[in-house]
Amino acid sequence: MSGKKEQKIIVLTSLSEDDRHLILYGSILALQFKKELCLAFLLNRKNRNNKSNIKIQLNAHLQPLKEKNPSLKTSVLLLEESRVNLPELLADDYEAILLVARAKDYKQYSSAVTRSPIPFLFTNMAASFSGIKKIIMPLDLRKENSDALLWGSWFGRFCNSVITLVAANDKDGDSKRQVHQNVMLSKKLFEKTGVLFKIIKGTRSSLFNSFEATDFAMNEDADLLIILGSSTITPLDWLIGLPERKIIKKAGKMSVLLVNPRRDNYILCD
């Protein structure tokens, strides 16, 4: 690729009826964040000889969006890449900063999520298009919360979202201090960027903080839940299911932004 590369919000399409919803959702985010909207499709042995028709189908989704929003930059990308390596390729070679996928496809991308340097936004067909105004975030003892908080600040700035942090209620001295440090970090960041926020003290420890925040978000009818993925993953976790899988499945019409704590995350450019 030549010339300056535009940062992209990439929608992972499937050539199904669900694409219409995903692409509209992605276009709203691209407009709000002032990024390029890119529709990506993974080729396989069955469809790799049908590239032209696939491009026509994807461009057909883009045409009405471009007519309605002339400032929206768009592109189509067909790839023959394994899912597990896809996020890193898209981030390194195509300036992807966010991947939008169907919530029901989490299992297909679960291994990719744990290696991804950019977040996945999982949504379903019941998600609202009225805007991402209300965001809930769990805040536990991990230092990687800084990556999730950055995304909270970007949504606050570009989407005028209000952020509610649910702080873990750890009893151990060291854990309690680490949660407090993250609370102070969040205050400093959101006050500096002018993002509206509030912090509530949860009742559960860092281990179960994400589940408490999920319940709170659903009761508050939130538009988006921002969570960190699992920092440590064992074979048993894959067998019984990671917490994030359970949360995404439970979230219903609420979208979930999943930030990978196992990798340094790419930074969004203004």
User: Are 140 and 249 in a shared domain?
Assistant: yes
Question: pLDDT tens digits, the chain, 270 residues: what are they?
Answer: 345 689 999 999 999 999 999 999 999 999 999 999 999 999 988 888 899 999 999 999 999 999 999 999 999 999 999 999 999 999 999 999 999 999 999 999 999 999 999 999 999 877 767 789 999 999 999 999 999 999 999 999 999 999 999 999 999 999 999 999 999 999 999 999 999 999 999 999 999 999 999 999 999 999 999 999 999 877 767 766 789 999 999 998 899 999 999 988 888 887
Is residue 266 a part of any domain in this protein? no
CA 229 to CA 199: how far, in whole Å? 21
- Domain-embedded: residue 220: yes
Residues 100 and 172 in one domain: no
Which pLDDT value is given to residue 252?
86
| CA–CA separation, 22 and 248 (whole Å) | 16
Q: How far is CA 151 from CA 2, 80, 158, 183, 194, in A?
A: 29, 29, 10, 15, 14
- Decide which of 71, 99, 123 is a domain's last residue: 123
- List 12's β-bridge partners, or say none: 40
181 with 226, same domain: the answer is: yes
**Beta carbons within 8 Å of 97's beta carbon, 6+ residues apart:** 7, 8, 9, 35, 91, 118, 266, 268
109 and 138 in a common domain: no
Task: For residues 174 and 249, state if they share a domain.
Answer: yes
In a domain, 44, yes or no: yes
Choosing from 123, 142, 172, the residue where a domain stops is 123
Number of domains in the chain: 2
- Specify the CATH number for the domain of residue 199: 3.40.50.620
Where a domain ends, among 123, 153, 185? 123
What single-letter DSSP state applies at residue 153?
Answer: H
Is position 209 within any domain? yes
Q: Are residues 112 and 152 in the same domain?
A: no
User: Which whole-number Å values give the CA distances from 81 to 38, 92, 158, in the listed order?
Assistant: 16, 14, 32
Structure tokens given for 79: 């790839």
Q: Do 20 and 96 lie in a common domain?
A: yes
Residues contacting residue 28 through CB under 8 Å, at least 6 positions apart: 129, 131
205 and 117 fall within a common domain: no
Claim to verify: residue 21 and residue 53 sit in the same structural domain? yes
* Statement to judge: residues 72 and 179 lie in one domain: no
d(CA 33, CA 29): 6
142 membership: H or E segment, kind and range:
none
Q: 234 is in which domain, residue-wise?
A: 134-259
DSSP E strand boundaries for 160-267: 162-167, 197-201, 224-228, 255-259
Decide if 88 is inside a domain: yes
Q: Which residue has the tokens 């896809």?
A: 86
Q: How far apart are CA 178 and CA 143, in angstroms?
A: 8
Token pair listed for 153: 């600040």
Flag whether 230 is in a domain: yes
In a domain, 268, yes or no: no
- What is the Cα Rg of the chain in Å? 18
Strand-pair partners of 11: 39, 100
> Do 98 and 165 have their domain in common?
no
User: What three-state secondary structure class fits 66?
Assistant: helix
128 domain-assigned = no
Helix/strand/coil for 207? coil
CA distance 85 to 143: 25
Same domain for 53 and 77?
Answer: yes
